[in-house]
Amino acid sequence: MMTKKVFITGANKGIGKEIAYQMGKRGWTILLGARDESRGLAATDELKSKDVDAIYVHIDLQKHETISAAVKTIKSQHRDLTMLINNAAIPGDMRKPGSEFTVEELREVMETNVFGTFDLTQQLLPTLEANKGRVLNITIPIGMSDFFNPFAYKTSKAALNAMTQSFAQNFKNEGIPIEIFAIMPGGVTTDLNGNMTGDFMKTVPEAGKLITDIIFDGKNHNGEIINFNGNTADYNNGLF
């Protein structure tokens, strides 16, 4: 069976690294994207020690030149790329009320979570189209909640969700053989939230399994934003 390749951003730790491990154990070659070279190489070595075929690719979603360099590497050395997983994200201050954010603070989060992710996805579309590939965006619910209201993070993911569905509509209408979808894994204990724990929180392995189970369920999820419980977000009717 031909080895398939996936590029995962922010895969040096947390959910990204767990997805890399679980896909790698299924025989996929992992292009491990990370902005910190030492951490990226350490994560790559760790995956290799677990019999995962992993290759480090430097990328910083706040720096266009590194995005273009990563795409150039993929186009020249990994033209058979069949999947992009946009996992990398920064949270901003998750406790500060939205009205107290500065424009600069909001812009920093949007730069990584939206603009950098858009830039990377757009540049890789020709490669993915040639290979009838897939794009997965890791996201969150954006509805009102008394328990979870991180302004900049939620705002950025709302934009990412809109991008997911808009791209999906275009791909469908224009007959472009790319599937794009998103998964909301729910609360997960990671560095992003200060390693928060609780009955409602998943471990990183649990979240990785949830995500990879959907990736490999054999279904076409184009345009879907899938919640951890299997429900699909329906923004036209105010769900999620």
Is the four-CA dihedral 49, 50, 52, 58 of positive or negative sign?
Answer: negative
What pLDDT does 7 receive?
98
Q: How far apart are CA 43 and CA 55, in angstroms?
A: 10
Q: How far apart are CA 196 and CA 220, in angstroms?
A: 33
Question: Exposure pattern of 170-204 as b/e (b: 16+ CB <10 Å)?
Answer: ebeeeebebbbbbbbbbbbbbebbeeeeeeebbeb
What pLDDT does 41 receive?
98
Q: What pLDDT tens digit does each residue of the chain (240 aa) get?
A: 457 999 999 999 999 999 999 999 999 999 999 999 999 999 999 999 999 999 999 999 999 999 999 999 999 999 999 999 999 999 999 899 999 999 999 999 999 999 999 999 999 999 999 999 999 999 988 888 778 889 999 999 999 999 999 999 999 999 999 999 999 886 665 656 555 555 666 688 888 899 999 999 999 999 999 987 777 877 766 555
What pLDDT does 16 receive?
95
Name the DSSP letter for residue 3: P
Q: Give the closest residue to 110 by CA, choosing from 70, 59, 182, 158.
A: 158
Structural domains of the chain, ranges and CATH numbers in brackets: 5-237 (3.40.50.720)
